[in-house]
């Protein structure tokens, strides 16, 4: 069943329940009021008859009956019975066509502990009460049919029934209008989303400018932000695959070409050694590229499921210089501590040691690789909430137009000459630091000095995910 029909039915059910409860309450309270009003009339009628019988001299039973007959328009099917203190009948009166009322001694005895006793016999309502005059006690039975009261209740019942029908119809119409007005924007959002796919991520959900505070507008904005991230992710993935394919195909084609040429004829041992050496260099490039691609893959998404622990950044960075020597003996790293915290806990971050080591190593390797003198200056300072690392080198300045692209996979600036690389180091570092709630940024410190600033928070909590 469609949501708009469910909303309509739910709205109708709620309104009908409210209407039923309201109608029942009105009818019930009206009947209680009618009964109380009629009991007062019965008591007044009984008191009048008892007073005439006991207080007025010269009033006999026949005269009293004629008086009661004259008052029969006040009460319909009227009946009055009076008993003396010994519960002997003193007087009785019944309207014509009225069935005589049989009052038992059991009923009269109920007045011993009660001032009044009310009950019904069919449609006839009966009130039994005590009347005292000159220390004498009398029992008065007054009964009648509340014709006017029940006629008013019948009219009220008809009015309430008509009101319920009209209210139900109005509820159906209102529910349909309400559900349409509620579901229509959602349908519009659904229609807009149908046109969005991985091949067409340029479309966006329309925002209702007339109602800026509308919750559905917030939903549309959130979905548009999600589509923006998906579009960026697809475009990045597409560029990544294209660049990775190109970078992988180059050494593979070189290997294939060299092997094919070497097999065309017999060659000397020296020539074979030269081919093997050249192929080996290409294989090293492939190994390094494959390793970088695997690191990029590990740095995407979250690191849930991997080993997370406290990592001392100073110890991690101190490991890097010795490794760089194995890559290039000319590489040199100068490490400076601008301050040192009193609490050693402020040296720790919570994360994955290998990933963080890879991030810092790649930035420092780049500092050495693209420096005029192969020297990278590394400076650390600590705050209560962050560990800041500055990596500087003296070399070619990154162009202004390239500053926003240097953290993209496979991007290499045009002024790096023939320095070997894949353009993955900074991209990998950016992703790893983002996972650890950190960041990396670039600034030009002077006309010949590049500066990279790495910030990692010392208190990350238990969950580490990409935003």
Set out the domains of the chain in order of their start, with CATH numbers: 3-152 (3.30.450.20), 215-296 (1.10.287.130), 303-457 (3.30.565.10)
The rounded distance, in Å, linking the Cα atoms of 56 and 54 is 6
Residue 279, pLDDT > 90, answer no
pLDDT digit string (tens) for 368-407?
A: 988 888 899 999 988 878 899 999 998 888 887 777 778 7
Q: Which two tokens stand for residue 392?
A: 């500087």
Q: Are 86 and 136 in contact (CB under 8 A)?
A: no
Average pLDDT value for residue range 152-161: 92
For residues 79-85, average pLDDT: 86
Q: What is the pLDDT, as a whole number, of residue 383?
A: 82
- Residues constituting the chain: 467
CA angle at residue 423 from 419 to 427, to 5 degrees? 145
Distance in angstroms (rounded) separating the CA atoms of residues 364 and 359: 9
89 and 83 in contact (C-beta within 8 Å)?
yes
What are the tens digits of pLDDT across the range 220-264?
Answer: 888 888 888 777 777 666 666 665 665 566 667 778 888 888 888
User: Per-residue pLDDT for 304 more than 60?
Assistant: no
What is the percentage of the chain residues whose pLDDT exceeds 70?
81
Nearest to 409 by CA among 356, 353, 367, 362: 362
63 vs 57: CA distance, rounded Å = 12
pLDDT at 32 over 90: yes
Q: What is the pLDDT at residue 12?
A: 79
129: which strand partners? Answer: 116, 140
Where b means 16+ CB within 10 Å and e means fewer, 236-265 reads eeeebeebbeebeeebeebbeebeeebeee
Residue scoring higher pLDDT (465 or 22): 22
- pLDDT for 366 beyond 80: yes
**Residue 265: φ, ψ to 5°:** -155, 165
Distance separating alpha carbons of residues 334 and 311, to the nearest angstrom: 21
Distance CA 107, CA 159 (A): 38
pLDDT number for residue 302? 53
Mean pLDDT of 138-165: 90
Q: What is the pLDDT of residue 46?
A: 87
User: How much is the pLDDT for 399?
Assistant: 80
Query: What is the per-residue pLDDT for 388?
Result: 92
3-state secondary structure of 451: strand
CB 118 within 8 A of CB 125: yes
Structure tokens at 460: 């990350």
């Amino acid at each position: 069943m469609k949501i708009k029909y469910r909303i309509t039915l739910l709205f109708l059910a709620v309104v009908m329940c409210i209407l039923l409860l309201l109608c029942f309450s009105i009818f019930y309270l009206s009947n209680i009021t009618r009964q109380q009003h009629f009991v007062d009339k019965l008591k007044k009628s009984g008191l009048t008859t008892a007073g005439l019988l006991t207080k007025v001299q010269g009033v006999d039973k026949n005269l009293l009956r004629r008086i009661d007959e004259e008052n029969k328009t006040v009460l319909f099917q009227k009946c009055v019975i009076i008993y003396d203190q010994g519960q002997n009948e003193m007087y009785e009166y019944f309207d014509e066509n009225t069935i005589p009322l049989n009052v038992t001694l059991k009923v009269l005895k109920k007045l011993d502990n009660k001032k009044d006793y009310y009950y019904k016999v069919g449609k006839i309502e009966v009130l039994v009460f005590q009347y005292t005059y000159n220390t004498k006690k009398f029992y008065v039975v007054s009964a009648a049919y509340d014709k006017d009261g029940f006629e008013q209740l019948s009219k009220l019942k008809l009015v309430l029934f008509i009101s319920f029908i009209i209210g139900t119809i109005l509820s159906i119409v209102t529910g349909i209008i309400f559900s349409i007005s509620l579901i229509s924007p959602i349908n519009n959002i659904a229609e807009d989303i149908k046109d969005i796919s991985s091949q067409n991520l340029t479309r966006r959900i329309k925002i209702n400018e007339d109602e800026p505070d509308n919750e559905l507008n917030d939903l549309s904005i959130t979905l548009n932000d999600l589509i923006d991230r998906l579009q960026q992710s697809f475009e990045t993935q597409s560029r990544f695959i294209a660049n990775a394919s190109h970078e992988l195909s180059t050494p593979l084609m070189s290997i294939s070409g060299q092997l094919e040429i070497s097999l065309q004829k017999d060659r000397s041992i020296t020539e074979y050694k030269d081919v093997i050496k050249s192929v080996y260099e290409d294989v090293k490039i492939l190994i390094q590229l494959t390793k970088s691609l695997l690191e990029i893959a590990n740095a995407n998404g979250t690191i849930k499921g991997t080993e997370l622990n406290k990592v001392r950044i100073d110890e991690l960075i101190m490991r890097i210089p010795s490794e760089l020597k194995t890559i290039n003996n000319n590489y040199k790293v100068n490490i400076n501590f601008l301050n040192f915290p009193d609490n050693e806990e402020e040296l720790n971050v919570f994360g994955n040691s290998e990933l963080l080591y890879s991030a810092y190593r790649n930035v420092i390797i780049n500092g050495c690789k693209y420096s005029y003198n192969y020297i990278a200056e590394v400076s650390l300072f600590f705050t209560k909430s962050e560990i800041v690392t500055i990596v500087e080198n003296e070399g070619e300045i990154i162009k202004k137009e390239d500053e926003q692209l240097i953290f993209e996979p496979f991007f290499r600036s045009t002024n790096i000459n023939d320095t070997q690389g894949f353009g993955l180091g900074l991209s990998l570092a950016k992703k790893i630091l983002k996972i650890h709630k950190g960041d990396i940024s670039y600034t030009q410190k002077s006309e010949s000095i590049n500066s990279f600033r790495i910030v990692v928070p010392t208190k990350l909590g238990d969950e580490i995910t990409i935003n």
